[in-house]
Structure 1
Amino acid sequence: MNKHRPLRFGVQEHRAHSAKQWRERARALESIGFSTLYLPDHLSDQPGPIAALMAAADATTTLRVGSLVFDNDYRHPVVLAKEAATIDLLSDGRFELGVGAGWLVSDYDQAGIPYESAGTRIERLEEAVQIIKKFFAGVEFSFTGKHYTIKGLEGAPSPVQKPARLCCWEAEAVACCAWRRGRRTSST
């Protein structure tokens, strides 16, 4: 049995000049063989990824859509999990959720969000991933952590994909593992 996944090609987009142009671009990418359309999550002159990814999924039939990556500090993990599960449901299981600890200081500054130490942002990300996974299980859950507290929340809707695709940005995952193992630098 071959356990290798087929090679896929994805593309990162970041501009939408009109709804028509955005839908046509998504359909064109699908027609020439791209498997996934990704959108970053920054506060610059790009479309908001949640609405844009849903529009791209709605305009296509096989193209997967995904975030590259959602900054954990911009959205509470319960809200992000609900949005992600909804996109997955409405796209018939074609959503890939990427979440990270955040890194672009200018986004934080422009939005007035405190840019805390890497250690703090990674701690929050670890808790957020636990919450998102619990939400995706589709049952009532509670969570108490240093940064988040959830009380008796039912994870609904449930994503179509079982298990749902949840990825952390690789560099942040490595930093997260190193941080957990006590290899903290003076900047954390």
Structure 2
Amino acid sequence: MTIDLLSNGRLELGLGAGWLADEYQAIGLTMDSPGRRIDRLERVVQAAKAYSQNGVVAINNEDITWQEFEGLPKPVSQPHPPIMIGGGSPRVLRLAGREANIVSLNFNNRKGVIGPDGISTSTASETLRKIQWVREGAGERFDELELEIGAYFTFVTDNAQPIVEGFAQNFGSTPEEMRKHPHALFGSATEICDELEARREEYGISYITVGETNMESFAPVVAALQGR
């Protein structure tokens, strides 16, 4: 919460269940079952919210033990910094709908590795399914949520077709499917702006994340979107 204080309330707290097997191996931890990891995630979310409360807090469960603990410093953002929960499975996304402020729609990384399985679990139709899981968890608060998605495959270019065809071949899809893939953006700044507006209308996604390597090339898209 110190970051929230130093940034004057700009912190967004991103949380997930942990899915990449290599990360567990690198630090010598056992990768628990999905159910166990999601249980832990839910407890961490509850603790993050409790931290911001006034007065002392007591938590005693399998993952967290706080006795007569008061979280300090208090965050600028109230009642707590916005919490983003990311994932691609039904249980995580229902949890996100119930507890998060921002829901990050991600691959269903059930195999614990990065590969073609992620692409097939994040198509347009799969993304609509994921949003339905979020709705089921959120209930009446769904309209209060912000939906985020990572544009992992982003190419701002006036000659996108060869790139699209290459990705389609690698991932076993068609060029049209690749262009419409919710985690991909191909085309000129104007074309990408139009696509983002169409996706906002179709999915309700208003928060797009691009990688550091695309920051400069994506700047014209950000500029063109102002006021749209």
Q: Looking at both structures, which has the greater relative contact order when contacts are Cα pairs under 8 Å and sequence separation is at least 6? A: 1
- TM-score using structure 2 length: 0.39
- TM-score using structure 1 length: 0.45
Work out which of the two has the higher radius of gyration on C-alpha atoms and give 1 or 2.
2
The structure where helix makes up a greater share of residues is 2
